Amino acid sequence: MSILEAVDLYRFYHVADEEVRALRGVSLDLAPGELVALLGASGSGKSTLLSCLAGLDDPDGGAVTVAGERLTRRPEAQRAGVRARHLGVMLQGGNLLAHLNVLDNVTLTGQLLGQPDEARALDLLGQLGLDHRRHAFPAQLSGGEVARVSLAAALAHRPAALLADEPTAEVDAATEERVIGVIEAFVRGEGRGGRGAVIATHSPRLAARAGRVLRLKDGRWQDA
């Protein structure tokens, strides 16, 4: 069974009289153990697709299923439940809560699920070179640090799938290697039904390590 399945997603935005067709019939199947790199020029629809896959946005057409649970066409509270149970989401610009320190941000989803795992959170922060920043607040972090803390927060509760938008933006080559290593270890890790990741990236280094590279162009798969 696939970890995450998206069928024929459409998403249109309307700004004044103009219609932006951000997604035009995009389907995706994420298999256990798979690391998928999502490539495409700026504006091609990568963030929109990740938002729909994460249930943060409801597409205008199509369906998303995660670990056998439907994510689309449900009230936000139900989508949030599915998201917390099965997904780790890292958005562009990070998604940290300003009033919580780094460690509390990373353990937050686990706490909400009633399974906080501080040891795992500290382990992830260590692997990402952020052990010494555990008591810092988001406003005190650099852009690259925010991205890595957000990645740790997305992975700490051991979701079935990681959905990440540009996790290696704003970092040097050595740090990028750490980030890729953490993502690879996550995808290889044991889990009920397996784990997988869809990563939007402009990084050739990250794309080279993916098992599958998919390219979006104007809201469609380029080679479809």
Ligand X SMILES: Nc1ncnc2c1ncn2[C@@H]1O[C@H](COP(=O)(O)OP(=O)(O)OP(=O)(O)O)[C@@H](O)[C@H]1O
Residues that bind ligand X (CB under 6 A): 13, 15, 20, 22, 40, 42-48
Amino acid symbol at 151:
L
Q: What angle do CA 151, 28, 22 make, to 5 degrees?
A: 80
Q: What is the DSSP string of 52-74?
A: HHTTSS--SEEEEEETTEE-SSS
The gap between the terminal CA atoms of the chain, to the nearest Å, is: 23
Q: How far is the CB of 48 from ligand X (least distance, A)?
A: 3
Instruction: Give Cβ neighbours of residue 184 (< 8 Å, ≥ 6 apart).
Output: 35, 209
Q: Given the complex with ligand X, which of 46 and 120 has the nearer CB atom?
A: 46
Question: Minimal distance in Å, beta carbon 46 to ligand X?
Answer: 3
Name which of 46 and 79 has its Cβ closer to ligand X. 46
- Shortest Cβ distance from residue 11 to ligand X (Å)? 8
Sign of the torsion formed by the C-alpha atoms of 73, 116, 30 and 145: positive
Query: In the complex, what is the shortest distance from the CB of residue 218 to ligand X, in angstroms, rounded to a whole number?
Result: 9
Q: Which CB, 20 or 208, lies closer to ligand X?
A: 20
Query: Which residue's CB is nearer to ligand X, number 26 or number 102?
Result: 26
Q: Which is nearer to ligand X, 49 or 106 (CB)?
A: 49
Rounded distance, CA 162 to CA 181, Å? 14
Q: How far is the CB of 47 from ligand X (least distance, A)?
A: 3
